Chain A
Amino acid sequence: MIGRIKTQTVEASQFLVDWMEHRTGIVTMLEHFLYEPVPKRGAWLYTLGSAVLFTITLQFLTGILLLFYYAPTTDDAWNSVEYIMTDAYFGQLIRGIHYWSANFLMAFIGLHMGQVFFSGGYKSPRELNWIVGVILLLLVVGLSFTGYLLRWDQDGFWASVVGMKIGSYSPFVGGYVIHFLLGGDVVGPATLSRFFAIHVWLLPAMIAPLIGAHLFLLRRHGVFGSEFEYTDRIAKLHERQRLEEYARYEADEDEGEPYVGRRDRADREGYERDGE
């Protein structure tokens, strides 16, 4: 009895898998994505990139949940955040994750960038992935700047005022940019609406496809990792080059010149020249 249920379940799931594969190719795709070989030695280092990916995913998820209660008007914003913290079910947890994960995101994005920089991961053919990364960094900084104002508390409000003031010092464009962000002459209801729109719609809508491009390029070129992933291959390359050089000297032996190492030869030639 149990045996029969087992075989039937196996058959049914096999049927489902085949059905999906035939119509979408999803199984081959999953195999392709999941069994990709990646560098082994520094695997822990390369978790930095995925830590960024994880924290920004947390931001998206908890951000959507915060929107259930948050009200982006000057009258209600602070109260709605207060409500989230005190009354809403798991409100403190959701806002806490959004807040702490944002802080971790900033730290991890810096560490990820540092790791890539110091291992030379931006070199050809991965230049564009670096470019996409820098754009992502700027957008994430934009997220944290616009998010701070949304609380509509003293800290967020005055920090934004200072930020806007700093921005207004931009040569030539400062006035226009700030006027666009403020939606008026001072930080007010229009500013909150715009920061909200930018924080919740504009920047996430730009970041999501760029992350897609980042991961696409990553897969296209394979993870580079660091030079220590290639020690054996570099050693083999040098060994082969050494042997080839040796063979070249052997071919020269007909001319009666014995093989000497590069260093010896240079020394001897230098010595002979000195002796002349």
Chain B
Amino acid sequence: MYAPATGKAKPVEEEVITEENVFERPDETIGFFPGQVLKDGYVSTFILLACVVLSYAAPAPLTEPANTATVEYVPRPEWFFFFYEQMLMFFPGYALISFGAVVVPTIFIGLLFAVPWLDRSPQHYNAVSRPFASVIGILVVVVVVLNMLLAVSRIMNFPTA
């Protein structure tokens, strides 16, 4: 049976908690307004302030105009592509590059879409009670972070190459 977890389903006293409805409503709630909206507002204000300050403290970059003739210019991707660029270095040569550049990420994205069906046990929300999913998740984070660090150290050690 479908029951939305809106917290309006039944008065608390009468409710018999079963395996099916235990996650229907949290123990304690706040009103979206003002409770959550206020917290969201603090975060948003902070982000906006940070953006304004950074706009002047570290202005958005603009390098020389594009010059199609300079073949040896080494571009640097944005930081959130660092891990990807770095990962490609583990797939050298023509045969492997398409594998690393496209096939592996495509499989990864496919798996990302499939996450809700790869991990279906309905009662195991807690990261500890579904160790397999959590370990995979942590591994992905570690691989991404390590690749980013590799890329950063490469950039710092060889600024122009």
Chain A, 162-182, CB within 8 A of any chain B CB? 162-163, 166-167, 169-171, 174
Chain B, 52-70, CB within 8 A of any chain A CB? 52, 54-56, 59-68, 70
Nearest residue, chain A, Cβ from B129:
A227
Compute how far the CA of A97 lies from the CA of B55 in the bound complex, rounded to whole angstroms. 6
Q: Label chain A's interface by main secondary structure.
A: helix
Chain B interface residue bracket vs A: 35 or more
Chain A nearest CB: distance from B108 CB in Å? Answer: 11
Would A124 and B77 be within 8 Å (CB), given that A154-B63, A227-B125 are in contact? no
Q: Are A36 and B70 touching (Cβ within 8 A)?
A: no
Chain A nearest CB: distance from B51 CB in Å? Answer: 4
Q: Are A153 and B47 touching (Cβ within 8 A)?
A: no
| B30 touches A (CB below 8 Å) | yes
Compute how far the CA of A171 lies from the CA of B116 in the bound complex, rounded to whole angstroms. 28
A interface residue numbers (CB < 8 A to B): 33-41, 43-44, 46-47, 50-51, 54-55, 58, 74, 78-79, 81-82, 85, 92-93, 95-101, 103-104, 106-107, 110, 114, 117-127, 130-131, 134, 138, 141, 144, 148, 151-159, 161-163, 166-167, 169-171, 174, 186-187, 220-227, 229-234, 236-237, 240
B interface residue numbers (CB < 8 A to A): 2, 4-8, 16-19, 22-23, 25-33, 35-37, 39-40, 42-44, 47-48, 50-52, 54-56, 59-68, 70, 73-80, 88, 97-98, 101-103, 109, 112-113, 115-117, 119-120, 122, 124-127, 130, 133-134, 137, 141
